[in-house]
Structure 1
Amino acid sequence: MAQFGSQEWVELLKTTVNKDKELPRAGKGFDATIHFVATGAKGGDIHFWTHMKDGAVLEAVSGEDRKCDFTLTGDYALWKEVVAGKQDPLQAIMTKKLLFEGNMQTVMKYIKAVNLVMESVKKVSTSWQ
């Protein structure tokens, strides 16, 4: 079990996502970096990013040291619900609980891949502050 947003956790996320057999087909043509931000955590905001290409996570890094194509920002408690499968991330975006920056048309084009990634996130053994 790894702490949400830690380097260990993002490496587990990368491994879990890359095990998905459907994702290479669903994510074919997608090449982007995604920055995730959890605000209001006890030790300060949590940042991590992933670089995905053709349905695979190529890099996963804890920290905010990269210009990204997309950014998802939400309260720490909301991320806990998303990871637990209690909050649909797309619904959270539509209701502005989860703030999205980037090209929504691209996300919608690859919606199956997005859903598969979110299913993988739920499989990562996660500890919380």
Structure 2
Amino acid sequence: MTKVKYATMDYFKLLQEAINKDPIFTNSDYTSTWAYIFTDKTTETGLPLTYILTWENGRLKDVRLGTPDEMTEYKFKADYKTWTELVQGKLDASRAMFTGKYKMEGPMSKLMKYSKVLGHLTDVTKTLDVEY
């Protein structure tokens, strides 16, 4: 199997496939929209590289390129290096937020409600064959 490059659509499609096969996610009712923003990577338009993730009933229903100003329930922002450390489990999200490396906008109460499910996300990302 060929490694996929991180921060590409191929990566997010691979993540989508893995999440949608994982019973911890599929047995949940988690529904949301996320903007996954790379603060130090830009698109041809000059805007930060942004992927929009649409979650529906525990499944990652859609992943697409978007813009950071799109209406989403959550906006997660970090530079490329911080994102790679987070998805590899080398950096804790709470610590990254505390130090300002990682920013989150959206209802914290919902994240807390689904903390077991969402906390499993790094377990899934660490299993992917990725080139960072």
TM-score range, shorter chain: 0.7 to 0.9
In structure 2, how many angstroms separate the alpha carbons of the residues matched to 1:62 and 1:90?
A: 26
In structure 2, how many angstroms separate the alpha carbons of the residues matched to 1:39 and 1:77?
A: 10
1:102 aligns with 2:106: yes
In structure 1, how many angstroms separate the alpha carbons of the residues matched to 2:22 and 2:113?
A: 19
Answer whether contact 2:88 2:122 (CA < 8 A) is retained: no
Answer whether contact 2:51 2:67 (CA < 8 A) is retained: yes
Answer whether contact 1:6 1:62 (CA < 8 A) is retained: no
The runs of at least 4 aligned residues of structure 1 exceeding 6 Å deviation read: none
Taking only aligned residues, the RMSD between alpha carbons, in angstroms, comes to 2.1
* Unaligned ranges ≥5, structure 1: none
Q: Which has the higher contact order (CA 8 A, sep 6+)?
A: 1
**Corresponding residue SS for 1:123:** coil
TM-score by length of 1: 0.84
**Corresponding residue SS for 1:114:** helix
When structure 1 is superposed on structure 2, of 74-83 and 56-65 the one drifting more is 56-65
1:4 aligns with: 6
Identity between Structure 1 and Structure 2 (%)? 23
* Unaligned ranges ≥5, structure 2: none
Larger radius of gyration: 2
Instruction: Tell me which protein shows more helix as a share of its residues.
Output: 1
Change (3 A) 1:77 1:58: same
1:31 aligns with: 31
1:14 aligns with: 16
* Aligned residue identity for 1:40: D
TM-score by length of 2: 0.83
**Corresponding residue SS for 1:40:** strand
Aligned length: 126
